[in-house]
Chains A and B, each alone.
Chain A
Amino acid sequence: MEFQHVNVKLFVSNAEEVDLDSLIPVFHSWIQNQANGELLLDVADYRHVRSGPGLVLIGHQGNYSLDNAGNRLGVRYNRKAVLEGTNQDRLVQATQAALAACRRLETEPSLDGTIQCNGREMEVFINDRLLAPNRPETRTAADSEFRAFFSTLFGDIEYAASYPQDPRSLFSVHVRTSQIFDTTVLLNNLNSTAPASCQS
């Protein structure tokens, strides 16, 4: 099974305190600086849609968003461009991108620390129904890939994985850890593995 178009969402704590208004200039500044190695293009504002994609930073290789799907706010990276390498490389790349974005938002002075990863949960989606339909056999086939990846990502931290069942939804795994993780530590864990390419 080939994973492509991996999405990673890191949930934020105190979502009700997050003011998406203040995030708009931050995303625009990311475009101004083109700082993260991907080509960033535009900002799409869907704050008016309930449980929607919130604020989306449109990129060529991938989108970043403060996503409110399921009425749960989180920093989401949506890899759009095809990525060479192994499934592990692709999981690492998308997670690195999401963690790095989360870290930048956590430390962005203008946001005054309002955006903080909750350190407990993340979701990984495969945004391609043909490669990864949301079926039991996909879950079985993906299990070893996910185990290997989460072992690298979390190290000694224990976690529980669950799979949404609606066959119409994207194939995804929801992970809850037994203790709070730190985005910097997770980034370091991933950085110790082979670097993943961001470009296509």
Chain B
Amino acid sequence: MKASNSLWKENLSAKLPEDLAHEIDIFETDLGLKKQGKLDERLIAETRLRRGVYGQRYDNGQRHDGKRVQEFAYPSGRLTKGPNTLWDAPGMQRIKIPAGGLNAAQLETLAELVEEYSDGIAHITTRQDVQLHYVHIDDTPTIMRRLAAAKITTREACGNTVRNVTACPFAGVCQDEVFDVTPYARALSRFLLGHPDCQSFGRKFKPSFSGCAQHACGLANMHDLGLVGVTRTENGKEVRGFAVYVGGGLGTVPYQAKLLHPFLPPEELLPIAQSIARVFARLGEKKNRNRARIKFLIHDLGIEKFKELVWEERKILPPDPRWTSYLETAKESTEEPLRPPGETPSSTSEGFARWYKTNVRPQRQEGYSTVTTTLPLGDITASQLRALADIVRRFTRETIRTTVEQNFAIRWVSNHDLVDIYEALNAVGLGEPGAGTIVDIVTCPGTDTCKLGISSSRGLAAELRNRLAQRCFAMDEAVQNLHIKISGCFNSCGQHHLADLGFYGVSRKMAGYAVPHFQVVLGGQWESNAGSYGLPVVAVPSKNIPQVVTRLTDRYVANRKNGESFKDFVKRIGKIEIKNLLEDLTRLPADDADPSFFSDWGDPREYSLGDMGVGECAGEVVSAVEFDLAAAEREVFEAQVKLEKGSFQQAARTAYLAMIHAAKALVKLELQDVPDDPDRIMLEFTTRFYDTQKFFDSFAGGKFAQYLFAAHASSGKPANPDSARYLIDEAQLFIDASHACYNRLGAVSVA
């Protein structure tokens, strides 16, 4: 797409590491081969994904423009870059930033790429990556070369690989960390990048490091491999190690990681990670993508058996000098200050005071602080990136990291410079307060650019941010410190399970129209490395979510006991009470006259116009099915209440029956008199909706029906807290998918 692409290759040839240059050349050749029809569709898809080149919404060349589905007539016609993905359709480039660490020159390189190849925005992700959107695939080799010249790689940013190794952005400067995990995170990142043992996973593998157990910064519990720094005394000396957690993950059904080892010495870190990778590659699911993450393998094997396999693998690993070569320098400080330590100067500025309160975190090194720049929705412009480069050069030795809350953390700022750095940041729109507060909303791309998005998570986040920012500092302090996280679908990229107030996108049919909704997820815990996961309470139309936030926070302020956390408050008053509190918000306004409910935030197109139901007969069926699906949803809720009360067996049974009832609701679309017999419902559902693929979502396929099949196969078996919880999550997802299936069938009937 860019005129200068071939010139860049020549221009940078002497500046690139040979291996990276060779690899990018191969990628470029593969793109050429695909254009000539000499490369398989799936192969080119995985090839580009392994280099961070993702598809984006509408890349099948179709988009509903609010009136009709448009077929885009791209210059390259039907040439594809993967199954059902057109060559010319804009895509996303993900850029790996190990442990979030960047320097000023790298910020400047990112700024250049944002301007020249993207839409003017760099997006910081919840895994400390950077993403560029609306990128043309022909430009990606040049983007990779320019990044490589700045010592950044996109290799294995996507695909079934080891993804970005994340780490606490305060590692090395945190007041209560056990030790600085940065050198270990970097060593693991280098070691696993392109490692032969990591090339044949069935799914992705995400590692994370944290310097302590109590804070959220590393989120170890929600990672495939979570490493938490710990120490112990041996022979009178303090020695370092890692508590090793495996098999955590969010996704559709979240799993808490299991403790694999309480104290792994640093010299064993890389070999054990390698052993885990080998076990995962050998035994992990390959065919069924939906059960291919390591969490399913560990769940199926049990942690003890998995541990046994890992340690057996460790015994037969051929030694590798890289396991320990980095350790000699690992204990040395990785960063130094530019300026002498100081005292914070006094300032009468209210803006500074607010910013100081939320965005400045004193370091363990006296006289220094880490400053967080709050990025709305994780977005930053090219000009701001360049300004940030100037600022980190002026005040620090270029010590800046991305954070999992989609911000930047500037480390080693002398307290003496805090007013100056605030003013410098504020001058370029980066001095907003509210880091880590209710205003600092985390969100995935949602329907803006993600192919899987159901509702507009970014639209909702922007709306909530606008409303909350105006009154944040007038709010009760307990509310100010709550976390809101939003995903556009059930896949949890916005980490909604970990929030005080979590939301994920679903659709519902109301008054004959599809209406964007969000499930309200409560009870999650951000602290303690993602200590617990929330559960969905009720689905609410997207346009009513701001009221949900207001009601819940008002109620919390009014009724909380001294020092009670929001999570504890939710648990104490119970989900029934909360559901009652929100009940009226689940409905459309009484007069049905507000058309805004039928479109999403920031998008005037009618939400899935083709889903409109017409005809009296269809209308009657619509009512019956909607009624049945709503009943199934109520049952899932009842299952949650039973789970809260510790009745695991009953909770599991109720969740299972909710799935059966949702399946029955769909079957009734074709067979009005289906008997109330689970086996018969299963048979009818399977033949009418699964075998015919009517139930299949274009991206998830039959995934959610498999939840039903598994639940039916194991109905009546003993349940435990974990299995009951998983079943409730799966039941909710199956019901959401049933709603979606019903909406699709409505569209077909109209056509």
Contact = CB atoms under 8 A, between A and B. Distances in A.
Interface of A: 2, 4-5, 24-25, 28, 31-32, 34, 39, 41-53, 56, 58, 60, 63, 65, 67, 69-70, 80-82, 127-131, 166, 168-170, 199-200
B1 interface: yes
B237 interface: no
Interface string B69-100: 01011110000000000001010000000000
A120 B668 CA distance: 67
Given A49-B429, A81-B1, A168 B381 contact: no
Interface stretch (B116-124, B167-175, B492-500, B697-705): B116-124
Contact of A168 (B11, B57, B386): B386
A47 B65 CA distance: 21
A39 B74 contact: yes
Interface of A (DSSP majority class): loop
Contact of B120 (A5, A46, A168): A46
A58 B92 CA distance: 14
Nearest to A34: B70
B74 A53 contact: no
Contacts of A2: 3
Interface stretch (B556-564, B600-608, B653-661, B686-694): B600-608
A45 B459 contact: yes
B428 interface: yes
Given A24-B603, A39-B74, A42-B58, A31 B65 contact: yes
B66 A39 contact: no
7 contacts: A4-B3, A25-B604, A28-B603, A48-B376, A51-B383, A128-B3, A168-B112
B313 interface: no
Given A51-B429, A53-B120, A130-B4, A24 B604 contact: yes
Contact of A48 (B8, B383, B465): B465
Given A4-B2, A28-B66, A131-B7, 12 more contacts: A28-B65, A31-B63, A41-B72, A41-B90, A42-B58, A44-B121, A46-B120, A49-B429, A80-B1, A80-B136, A127-B116, A168-B386
Interface in B520-574: none
A58 B383 contact: no
Interface of B (DSSP majority class): mixed
Nearest to B462: A48
B299 to A, nearest CB: 39
Contacts, number: 128
Contacts of B2: 4-5, 82, 128
A67 B379 CA distance: 15
A107 to B, nearest CB: 20
Nearest to B377: A48
Contacts of A166: 386
A170 B115 contact: yes
Contacts of B112: 129, 168
A39 B120 contact: no
B3 A5 contact: yes
Contacts of B377: 48
Contacts of A45: 448, 458-459, 462, 602
8 shortest A-B CB distances, which residue pairs?
A50-B429, A53-B120, A4-B3, A130-B4, A25-B604, A48-B376, A32-B65, A48-B462
Contacts of B67: 32
Interface of B: 1-4, 7-8, 11, 57-58, 63, 65-67, 70, 72-75, 88, 90, 108, 111-112, 115-116, 119-121, 133-134, 136, 376-377, 379-381, 383-384, 386, 428-429, 448-449, 458-459, 462, 465-466, 602-605
Contact of B116 (A31, A47, A70, A128): A128
Given A63-B119, A168-B111, A168-B386, A49 B376 contact: yes
A24 B466 CA distance: 17
A44 B119 contact: yes
A200 B74 CA distance: 10
A185 B116 CA distance: 31
Most chain B C-beta atoms within 10 Å of own C-beta, residue among A4, A25, A39, A168: A168
Contact of B115 (A31, A51, A127): A127
Contacts of B466: 48
A24 B111 CA distance: 26
Contacts of B384: 51
A46 B66 contact: no
Given A60-B88, A130-B7, A168-B111, A39 B379 contact: no
Given A45-B448, A48-B376, A28 B383 contact: no
A42 B63 contact: yes
Contact of B4 (A48, A63, A128, A168): A128
Given A28-B604, A51-B383, A131-B4, A46 B121 contact: yes
Most chain B C-beta atoms within 10 Å of own C-beta, residue among A48, A127, A128: A48
Contacts of A51: 381, 383-384, 428-429
Contacts of B75: 60, 199-200
Contacts of A56: 119-120
A129 B457 CA distance: 34
Nearest to A199: B75
B81 to A, nearest CB: 15
Contact of B66 (A32, A50, A52, A200): A32
